[in-house]
Amino acid sequence: MVGIREVAEAAGVSMSTVSQVVTGNRPVSAATRARVEEAITRLGYRAHPGAAQLRGGRTGTVALIVPTLENPFYPLVAAGMQDVLVPRDLLLTVTDASSLDRSASAIHRLLTRRVDAMVAAPFGLPPAGLAEVHDAGIPFVTLGQAPPGGGDYVHTNDVDGAYKVTEHLIERGRRRIAFLGGDEGVTPTRQRLEGYEKALRAAGLPVREEHVVCTRYTRQGGRDGANLLLDRDEAPDAIVAANDLIAFGVLDVARGRRLRVPEDLALTGYDDLEASSLVTPPLTTIMNPAREIGRACARLLLERLDGQVSDITRGVALSNSLVVREST
């Protein structure tokens, strides 16, 4: 077992000096550093992460918590985080909230002292867990809104995105535009709904309660919601789905009911998953830069970890954009 001791001997310095070279905690003269580094590579030394954590407190692992791994959006966020984490030798742990559902403190149990920092997707974290993370006192980044207890966030303007897509439908001449949301009350749903309503009002169109339905952010949720909406007295001639998965469910229903898209029913999604360009008709949607979002999260965490940042909450805004395809 080659430890810090062996390196120190080989380089003719003390163990602490080796540690300082490795961690960069204190300045070391160039000559000494060179000798030590040479010894490190020659001996193939790797710090023992457990020992390092025990004394130093850092685990070298970062957590990402997402609501589900079945929505391909989140793995892309993970990939983005990897882009910046891997060069820093940090490990990424991905956990989907659905596997944690059983107990409220599962997250706590799973993560305390096992990660240095954490990013949580909207409603990836049950409210109880949020508090626990906060008083774990680790850097914390959320997607979409500022963490209640303070921390950073990465954000795309959902109000604006939903506005754009609704406006687009109005320009296409639609008048009975419905909104099909995912899980009710969560931030993305609220904001996208807000953008939708805003666009309707801006065009002087009424916001009808019977044209707003919330289900879940899944394909099945889309099916359920579409069936509800299409059975209304005055069926919509367009649906703004709160994400692509939902829109796919709407497509299923439209196909089943022999509705032509976009002629009988125009449809928009949100996120721009790979599959959005594959369905028939290809989906008009809002491009959400998943991978870039992941990168931004990781960068924020890194800055906190490096201690370059004070206590202020910081927000990074990334832009989304309307992608017009054939579903409208």
Partner DNA sequence: ATGCTACTCCAAAACCTTTTGCGCACACTG
Partner DNA sequence: CAGTGTGCGCAAAAGGTTTTGGAGTAGCAT
- Where do contacts with DNA occur on this chain (CB under 7 A)? 1, 3-5, 12-20, 22-23, 25-29, 31-33, 45, 47-48, 51-52, 54-57
Residues in region 3-32 near a copy of itself by CB under 8 A: none
Q: Which residues contact 310 (CB under 8 A, 6 or more apart)?
A: none
Using rule CB under 8 A, residue 2 touches a copy of itself: no
Show the binding pattern over residues 175-214: x = contacts a copy of itself (CB under 8 A), - = does not.
Answer: ----------------------------------------
DSSP state of 310: -
Residue 242 to residues 215, 216, 219, 269, Cα–Cα distance (Å): 10, 9, 11, 6
Could you say which of a copy of itself, DNA, none residue 70 binds, taking C-beta under 5 to 8 angstroms by partner kind?
a copy of itself
Using rule CB under 8 A, residue 295 touches a copy of itself: no
104: tokens are 């409220």
Smallest distance, a copy of itself to C-beta of residue 94, A: 5
Smallest distance, a copy of itself to C-beta of residue 291, A: 9
Tell me the Ramachandran region of residue 28: left when phi exceeds 0, alpha when psi lies from -120 to 50, beta otherwise.
beta
Nearest CA to 49 out of 86, 18, 23, 28 is that of 23
Collapse the DSSP code of 47 into the 3-class scheme (helix H, G, I; strand E, B; otherwise coil) and give the result.
Answer: coil
Using rule CB under 8 A, residue 119 touches a copy of itself: no
Smallest distance, DNA to C-beta of residue 30, A: 7
Q: Residue written as tokens 């065009």?
A: 203
Which one among 99, 313, 319, 321 touches a copy of itself, defined by CB under 8 A? 99
Q: How far apart are CA 97 and CA 106, in angstroms?
A: 9
Which one among 2, 15, 43, 52 touches a copy of itself, defined by CB under 8 A? 52
Which one among 140, 179, 217, 248 touches a copy of itself, defined by CB under 8 A? 248
Smallest distance, DNA to C-beta of residue 272, A: 42
Q: How far apart are CA 133 and CA 107, in angstroms?
A: 9
Q: How far apart are CA 161 and CA 147, in angstroms?
A: 21
Q: How far apart are CA 325 and CA 285, in angstroms?
A: 8
Which one among 10, 100, 296, 297 touches a copy of itself, defined by CB under 8 A? 100
Q: 288, 156 in Cβ contact below 8 A? A: yes
Phi, psi of 183 (to 5 degrees): -55, 130
- For the chain, first and last CA: distance in Å? 64
Of residues 57 and 173, the one with the C-beta less far from DNA: 57
Collapse the DSSP code of 119 into the 3-class scheme (helix H, G, I; strand E, B; otherwise coil) and give the result.
Answer: strand
Could you say which of DNA, a copy of itself, none residue 91 binds, taking C-beta under 5 to 8 angstroms by partner kind?
a copy of itself
Of residues 20 and 285, the one with the C-beta less far from DNA: 20
Smallest distance, a copy of itself to C-beta of residue 310, A: 26
Interaction site with a copy of itself (CB under 8 A): 46, 48-54, 59-61, 68-70, 72, 74-76, 78-79, 82-83, 86-87, 89, 91-96, 99-100, 102, 106, 109-114, 219, 248, 251, 274-275, 278-280
